[in-house]
Structure 1
């Protein structure tokens, strides 16, 4: 969504852990924070609850959360499920770009953990609305004899 349109629909906040960014107002009601979402707060890193405190958004609706960088999807889910504010009750829609390793024996524990985090979304009332493999990341799994991917785009909603 265009940031100008986003600003017209209310207040929007973006986090980017890239060091070339600094705090900025992008357009009307759209703000960029040079912070990294983390499981533990540190310099430049915030937990979801700390970010909610920063924005004074406790118990306010969060319409849309999106991840794109590798690993942030799992950090977001861990933060969502362990939030002292029960942030999952306030986040209405989540778009996760899932980054997965090849489905080999070496990565079974990792894939099992990722699967459990995704099941947590259903446990907390989210429903999978959309899922697609990212073109160029698919391969045929040797044991399953089916096409799988290392990246998926997923959209989850909570009513």
Structure 2
């Protein structure tokens, strides 16, 4: 069983090497590489990698991973304590005084799943564009700031 870091490296390598359209395709490609993973694990890995599905001119879509996380996000990672969701709203808890900077980073990421953010001193409310995306959005934001998936609730 490979380490989580090795598995994530394999996921990123496979996505960069070809057009992977679905998680099922990615799971099969991983299996051909000798790496077994569940869909839930793969979903968490994609969030941690900052992977996203992008539309193609022919109407399809495929996964894409950034080469490097934006430096401003990397610099802010240690400031996020917890990301949770109640199914309608994502709540990001930060260290005191850090919420405005984290909210700004989320806004600048221009995630299509984010309708908007409201930041206080140590709490951010993130409104998802659609209710059904709330839990997935919470996982994606947790991945951006390298918060362990076990910190997700709701």
Q: Which of structures 1 and 2 has the larger relative contact order (alpha carbons within 8 angstroms, sep 6+)?
A: 2
More helix per residue: 2
TM-score, length-scaled by structure 1: 0.29
Q: Which has the larger radius of gyration?
A: 1
Normalised to the residue count of structure 2, the TM-score between the two structures is 0.30
